[in-house]
């Protein structure tokens, strides 16, 4: 094989990373991945006071950088990382409304974080990845993957709890996705997230805008937005305090990326361990590039892993298409405004599906690697890690806030190393 796979054409069954569907289906499935990542990739910058269109643009650019660095062999999308939210707010003093006036300070810290992340990736590439395997065996990586899904679950549930109407729409979304995934025919069965979301969107519009049962969708921002517009670019400013707060997030990104690689490897049946170093390097460079223009730090996206889990289509070309669409969205305020009209309970219902699939993927990692839960070391490591992640235990370490995913990650790693061989 050359630097990039040949992507053999296939029309049925599981589609491997080095295979592709007909181009029409590839375009539709790429759009589905855009829909899956959009909610979180827009939400994270809004919570930090970043421009969401700029964040979308750099998520596409970062995904292409990652694709090239891993030689087109790892199916992953890079979107806005939630790991930066708390430290960015702390470093900039952001009040939570409107544009962040100190966004440059945040970007300087994010750039250095990406630099640290990339250097770790370069070190793994040069020194090998075996030490990573020893540090994070299947019981640990499975725990991290499950903790990510469980930690994100409250976000999804909160999105459908504002009212009884919202709860009904969220559950309708879940059912619609499930019906398409299980009972859809032909190519339609491959688009459960996209089609399920469209069905729920239509139902919401009829019930809310038509019958007045819920908050109506406001289409005025779409009408007012321009079709084309330059992204709002911002340069980083380097401040020692902001850097000290934000740069350590690189440790969380490393753990997230490794967990995602293990999850994707389990789903695809491919050994992606040789790509670990290049994946770290690609993600680090993508984060640095985003910070140079006003984008958020990026990470491999759990939502898109959830989409692959339900469709069983892992072609890496889908992510080239998704990245291209995201870049176009970055230059189209009108299309971005249209996507932002997706009702919260619809996004919440979609999140319930994809976050649940992420957590369930951990079971596959454990089963395929024959993790023995009769061993007290494995049992305690997984049990404690899952509880820390699901309970979202946060630790404040000298001004650096470690959220539930990070606590579960490092807790599982440290606990396993303390207990290994003593079960």
Instruction: Determine which of 150-164, 247-261, 368-382 has the lowest per-residue pLDDT on average.
Output: 247-261
DSSP string, 231-249: ---------HHHHHHHTTH
Q: Would you state the pLDDT for residue 225?
A: 86
Q: How far is CA 83 from CA 87, 134, 338, in A?
A: 8, 25, 27
357-387 pLDDT tens trace: 778 878 877 887 789 999 999 999 999 999 9
Residue matched to tokens 């930066």: 84
Please count the CA atoms within 13 angstroms of the CA of 137 that sit on its side-chain side: 15
User: Mean of the pLDDT values across residues 105-117?
Assistant: 95
174-193 pLDDT tens trace: 999 899 888 887 657 667 77
Is pLDDT larger for residue 278 or for residue 271? 278
Average pLDDT, the chain: 85
The SS3 call for residue 219 is coil
Size of the chain in residues: 423
DSSP-assigned beta bridge partners for residue 78? 300
Is pLDDT larger for residue 236 or for residue 258? 236
Residue matched to tokens 């061989």: 421
Q: Would you state the pLDDT for residue 303?
A: 73
Q: What are phi and psi of 73, to 5 degrees?
A: -110, -5
Q: What are phi and psi of 299, to 5 degrees?
A: -150, 160
């Amino acid at each position: 094989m050359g630097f990039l796979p040949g992507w053999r054409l296939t029309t049925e069954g599981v589609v491997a990373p080095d295979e592709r569907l007909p181009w029409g289906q590839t375009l539709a499935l790429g759009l589905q991945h855009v829909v899956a990542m959009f909610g979180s990739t827009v939400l994270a910058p809004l919570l930090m006071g970043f421009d969401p269109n700029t964040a979308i643009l750099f998520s596409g650019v970062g995904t292409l950088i990652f694709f090239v660095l891993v030689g087109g062999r790892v199916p992953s999308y890079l979107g806005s990382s939630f790991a930066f939210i708390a430290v960015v707010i702390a470093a900039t003093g952001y009040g939570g409304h409107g544009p962040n006036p100190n966004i440059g300070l945040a970007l300087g810290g994010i750039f250095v974080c990406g630099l640290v992340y990339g250097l770790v990736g370069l070190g793994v590439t040069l020194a090998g990845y075996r030490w990573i395997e020893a540090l994070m065996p299947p019981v640990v990586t499975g725990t991290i993957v499950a903790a990510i899904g469980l930690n994100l679950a409250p976000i999804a549930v909160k999105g459908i709890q504002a009212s009884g109407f919202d709860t009904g729409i969220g559950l309708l979304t879940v059912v619609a996705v499930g019906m398409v995934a299980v009972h859809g025919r032909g190519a339609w069965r491959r688009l459960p997230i996209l089609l399920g979301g469209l069905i729920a969107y239509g139902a919401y519009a009829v019930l809310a805008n038509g019958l007045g049962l819920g908050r109506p969708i406001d289409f005025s921002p779409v009408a007012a937005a321009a079709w084309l517009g330059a992204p709002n670019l911002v340069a980083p400013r380097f401040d020692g305090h902001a850097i000290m707060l934000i740069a350590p997030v690189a440790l969380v990104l490393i753990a997230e990326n490794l967990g995602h690689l293990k999850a994707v490897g389990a789903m695809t049946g491919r050994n992606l361990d040789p790509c670990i170093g290049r994946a770290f390097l690609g993600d680090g460079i993508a984060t640095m590039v985003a910070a140079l223009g006003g984008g958020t730090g990026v990470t491999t996206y759990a939502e898109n892993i959830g989409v692959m889990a339900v469709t069983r289509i892992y072609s890496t070309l889908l992510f080239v298409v998704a990245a291209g669409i995201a870049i176009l969205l970055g230059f189209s305020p009108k299309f971005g405004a249209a996507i932002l009209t997706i009702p919260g309970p619809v996004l919440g219902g979609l999140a319930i599906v994809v976050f649940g699939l992420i957590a369930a993927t951990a079971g596959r990692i454990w089963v395929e690697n024959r993790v023995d839960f009769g061993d007290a070391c494995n049992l305690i490591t997984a049990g404690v890690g899952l509880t820390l992640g699901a309970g979202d235990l946060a630790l404040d370490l000298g001004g650096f806030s470690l959220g539930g995913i990070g606590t579960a990650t490092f807790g599982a790693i440290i606990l396993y190393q303390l207990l290994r061989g003593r079960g």
